[in-house]
């Protein structure tokens, strides 16, 4: 899918409808911009319930905490 958008004089970009529908993005959704070389990666910020189980199988011991960095 190839889609383009133009940066407005107010530095706004409208996401093309095809992209919004393909990604299931909705109005009011929050996004993060991650610089990548000469471009930017646009990622939706996940809801808290979407993060459940993301660290399944992670060890609870042997991790570093801020307290042991100094």
Residue 29 is predicted with a pLDDT of 93
Q: Are 16 and 4 in contact (CB under 8 A)?
A: yes
Confidence of residue 56 (pLDDT cuts 50, 70, 90): confident
pTM: 0.62
Beta strands in the chain (DSSP E): 31-36, 39-44
pLDDT at 25 over 80: yes
Task: Give the burial class of 60: count Cβ atoms within 10 A of its Cβ; 0-12 exposed, 13-18 middle, 19 or more buried.
Answer: exposed
What's residue 53's pLDDT? 79
For residues 35-60, give the mean pLDDT: 85
Domains in the chain (CATH in brackets) are: 1-48 (2.10.260)
């Amino acid at each position: 899918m190839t889609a383009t958008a133009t940066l407005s004089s107010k530095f706004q970009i409208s996401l093309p409808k095809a992209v919004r529908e393909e990604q299931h993005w909705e109005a009011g959704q929050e996004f993060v911009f991650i610089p990548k070389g000469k471009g930017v990666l646009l990622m939706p910020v996940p809801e808290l319930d979407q993060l459940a189980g993301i660290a399944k199988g992670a060890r609870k011991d042997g991790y570093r905490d801020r307290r042991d960095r100094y």
